[in-house]
Amino acid sequence: MLMREYNIPSDHFLHSRDASFAIAIKRLTRGAGVDVIINTQIGELPEESWSCLGPFGTFIELSKNTQLRLNPDRDARLVAFDLENMIGANDSNLGRALDGALDFLRRSITRIVTSVTTHHASDAYVAMKAMQSPVHTGKQVLTWDTAEVVRFVRAPGLLPTLCLDENATYMLVGGLGGLGRSIARLLARHGARHICFVSRSGVRAGSQGERLIRDLEQQGLHVDAHAVDIGDHNALQCVFAGYKEHGPPLRGVIQCAMALHENLFGGMSVDQWKQALWPKVQGTWNLHVLMPKDLDFFVILSSFIALIGNVGQSNYGAACAYQDSLAEFRRQEGLKAMSIDLGIMGEVGVVAEGKVVQSAGLRGWENAMLSEKDLHELLTLVIDDQMRDCASLEAALPTGIPWSKNAVGNSSYLSDARFDEFQSDDAEVSPAANMVDGVLDSKSASFTSRIAVAQSGHEAYAVILEALIDRCVQRVGVAREEIRPDMSLVEYGYDSLSVGELHTWMSRNLNVRLNIFDLLNSGSLSELAKCAAQSLGFDVAI
């Protein structure tokens, strides 16, 4: 490359691993030596380079060679330069030097000459192989195309092999729900022979929890189930005392307990607030106080709601944020802890069991959901990390957060300014970002402009009603003709959570400023459209 770019003869490229280059330089310069030497070598070879310097030449030392021994008995200049020292000293010369270098590049006085080989991101494996080749030159660069699919292959042995103590007890708190039952089977597969379930409701006859316990016992496990409210300090203390005195010692605890009581914060009762916090705040604190100090692991199943929030779940988000902080506090005290901020679980848990699909407004989140396999791999990594002498993972581990509107549609958390950095390039990501059922949704972009040029209240009302009908079509997945303006949002599956998202959408896309309770209390789509048009200053008589 240098031969081609600068027309340098091939015999001017010399071997730098031994002193033969010094002899060649003297031969090529007929003994006169060179004017400038830039040295990056260490050891004795720099002394050979020094001998190649001509009269009044300059030797620039970049190698941090503290053992440099050069003969000063000659007319030459030695310059030692250490960029790290200049940066560390906050030297004002650094800025001038950088400006000068960039100016040279802008004016083409100097230019960067390198051999660049580009690869599509899907060919990353080819690029890596090229880097490993002993004869490769230049740089291997990956180029990214938003429509490109990059194949992911899990390296063998990436997950640790988890080996649990068959002579220890492992406790699952709130473990008879969907997630807990799945985790119990995971623990059994990895060697656990004693499992303890603690839940407020206990084991109900004919329940999936009862079937799980029977299955585990048939595999040879000893299973205990305690009907205990973990927020009750005295009741929970009795459970721990029993294992301390009689049972196999407790070596691991997984806190799965949760309670959802959803409502907009303005309409949330004190009881709703307390009930959501009780198992995660008071319950987790009781576990912290009463658990043995020598646990192998303590895992808390928190939620990504602690990080991004969610309309109607301020109580749940606060409780999960507390759990993250408690995990960090335990780490600072030298105790085991890890809080996993789980995203939406799509195969096990309350969503898979159909308990919160409508209330959480999950349409559009399908690609962001975590699988049961994801959960098991997370727990395997987290438990193995805590069982080591020095944990490498942070105390709180976020998962399942889609950083783009394209992933989940108009999610309310992405309207928060704190997430602007993660959606700044959404408009350029893909034309599919504004697609509905494969058809480009140009209407959303035009609603605001159509309202702005509306000549009458009835015209503005019609545009807003059209927008509301479009939203209902997207939500319930029916034909447009099946949406009736005389039906309410509630009849189309909206509740306090999803209405909050609609409220955000109307504010951002229609410039409508209504109280969220106006949306909840509207008797029909038609009535809501009329109210919205009136809030924009139009006189509407319908």
Task: Convert the pLDDT of each residue in 450-505 to its tens digit.
Answer: 777 777 888 888 888 888 888 888 776 667 788 888 888 877 777 766 777 788 87
**46-55, 72-81, 198-207: least confident range:** 72-81
Q: What share of the chain is helix, strand, coil (3-state, %, to 5)?
A: 45, 15, 40
Q: Is the per-residue pLDDT at 427 higher than 50?
A: no
pLDDT of residue 419: 64
Q: Is the per-residue pLDDT at 390 higher than 50?
A: yes
DSSP H helical ranges for 154-304 = 178-189, 208-218, 233-245, 270-277, 283-290
- 320-348: average pLDDT: 91
State the Rg of the chain over Cα: 34
How distant is the alpha carbon of residue 437 from its chain centre? 28
For the chain, the structural domain boundaries read: 2-81, 116-145, 169-408, 436-535
Burial of residue 62 (number of CB atoms within 10 Å: 0-12, 13-18, 19+): middle
Fold adopted by 169-408: Rossmann fold (3.40.50)
Establish whether domains 169-408 and 436-535 are of one fold. no
Using one digit for the tens of pLDDT, what is the confidence trace for 227-270? 999 999 999 999 999 888 887 999 999 999 999 887 778 778 99
Pick left, alpha or beta for residue 312 (phi over 0 → left; psi -120 to 50 → alpha; otherwise beta).
left
Q: Which token pair is 427?
A: 């408009």
Confidence of residue 203 (pLDDT cuts 50, 70, 90): confident
Cα–Cα distance for residue pair 331/391, rounded to 1 Å: 10
Q: Is the per-residue pLDDT at 436 higher than 60?
A: no
Identity at 43, one-letter amino acid code: G
Ranked by mean pLDDT, which of 69-78, 182-191, 366-375 comes out on top?
A: 182-191
pLDDT of residue 266: 78
Looking at the structure, give the CATH architecture of the domain made up of residues 2-81.
Answer: 3-Layer(aba) Sandwich (3.40)
Cα–Cα distance for residue pair 50/35, rounded to 1 Å: 11
Using one digit for the tens of pLDDT, what is the confidence trace for 230-242? 999 999 999 999 8
- Three-state DSSP class for residue 6: helix
- 417-424: average pLDDT: 60
Q: Is 440:453 a contact under the CB 8 Å cutoff?
A: no
Could you say which DSSP state residue 79 is in?
E
Using one digit for the tens of pLDDT, what is the confidence trace for 5-15? 778 888 888 87
Cα–Cα distance for residue pair 514/408, rounded to 1 Å: 24
Using one digit for the tens of pLDDT, what is the confidence trace for 17-45? 777 888 889 889 988 999 999 888 776 67
In this predicted model, which residue has the larger pLDDT, 385 or 443? 385
Beta-carbon contacts of 528 under 8 Å, excluding residues fewer than 6 positions away, are 468, 489, 518, 519, 522
Cα–Cα distance for residue pair 3/373, rounded to 1 Å: 54
Q: Could you tell me which CATH number the domain at 436-535 has? A: 1.10.1200.10
Q: Dihedral, CA atoms, 165, 169, 171, 176, nearest 10 degrees?
A: 100
Q: What is the mean pLDDT of the chain?
A: 81
Cα–Cα distance for residue pair 433/407, rounded to 1 Å: 8
Confidence of residue 79 (pLDDT cuts 50, 70, 90): confident
Q: What angle do CA 116, 118, 120 make, to 5 degrees?
A: 165
Instruction: Count other C-beta atoms under 10 Å from residue 373's C-beta.
Output: 9
Cα–Cα distance for residue pair 308/316, rounded to 1 Å: 12
Confidence of residue 315 (pLDDT cuts 50, 70, 90): very high
User: What single string gives the DSSP state of each residue in 92-148?
Assistant: HHHHHHHHHHHHHHHTTSS-----EEEEEGGGHHHHHHHHH-TT--SEEEEE--TTP
- Run of H or E including 516: helix 516-521
Q: Token match 């927008």: residue?
A: 467
